Amino acid sequence: MTARSLHEIIGGKASHHGLFRNRVRRDSRPKGSCEARLWRPVSKRQMGHAMIAAEGYDRQHKQPGKRNGPLGHVGLEVLRALYRIVCHRSGRLEPSIDYLMGKLRRSRDAIVRALKALKDHGFLDWVRRTERIPEAEGAGPRIRQISNAYRLCIPAFARVIVERIIGPAPMPADVVQHLEQHHTEQAEMVAQLPLREAVGVSVQNEALAAALARLADALEENERESA
């Protein structure tokens, strides 16, 4: 054992086998495997009004005699910082705790507690992530913990406030694509049906559907006579 390895063991940087300690959370996901399902576009208009909702929620739920509400002053600072750095087009948001510490000049403990409060009250969600260590040597771990991937959320109780101000948020692109595909497939199916059946599928009003069905019968009868 060298003096350096002994120093690392004493300092907590290595195990008694001399291996580098690289703590990885059990619920972590590999980088690149989860972000597409987590991130959603964030409109710039929504950003400001979501902060108003968060601040109002914090004031409304502040207990008598308490200095802060459930989100706290630091929680609101963190939420505001996240809205400022998020990619509005994709929703990409992956700052490290060290970055937030430097940006807000707050301690690690304060940032961690603020993130937890935001998540507990529905304003934030995240996925822990890992990545492979390039050219790792020795018998140690081949992956390491990296920054979380975050998603900004608006809880149902706060969404009502936001929608009153700016209207409902646009549907995610994947949902829009799914609906368009469903409508296209349905239209193709209806186009292959006899006219009377197509009317029954397409029209929900029973009286109107019956009238159109009679018209369809008359048109088909006229076509048969013409043939």
Domain regions of the chain by residue span: 3-170, 176-226
Which tokens sit at 116?
A: 């937890």
Q: How confident is the model at residue 8 (pLDDT cuts 50, 70, 90)?
A: very low
The three-class DSSP label of residue 210 is: helix
pLDDT, one tens digit per residue, over 162-189 is: 666 666 655 555 555 666 676 676 667 7
Query: Mean pLDDT for the chain?
Result: 77
Which tokens sit at 183?
A: 């409508």
pLDDT at residue number 4: 47
The three-class DSSP label of residue 128 is: strand
pLDDT at residue number 94: 95
pLDDT, one tens digit per residue, over 55-112 is: 888 988 888 888 889 999 999 999 999 999 999 999 999 999 999 999 999 999 999 9
**Ordered alpha helix ranges (H), the chain:** 3-10, 35-38, 44-60, 72-85, 97-104, 108-120, 156-166, 173-191, 195-202, 206-226
Evaluate if residue 220 carries a pLDDT over 90. no
pLDDT at residue number 110: 96
**CA distance readout (Å), 5 to 22, 116, 144:** 16, 36, 21
**Fold (CATH) for 3-170:** Arc Repressor Mutant, subunit A (1.10.10)
Full-model pTM: 0.60
- The answer to whether residues 63 and 164 touch, using CB atoms and an 8 Å cutoff, is no
Percent of the chain's residues with pLDDT above 70? 60
Comparing C-alpha atoms, which of 126, 164, 143 is closest to residue 50? 164
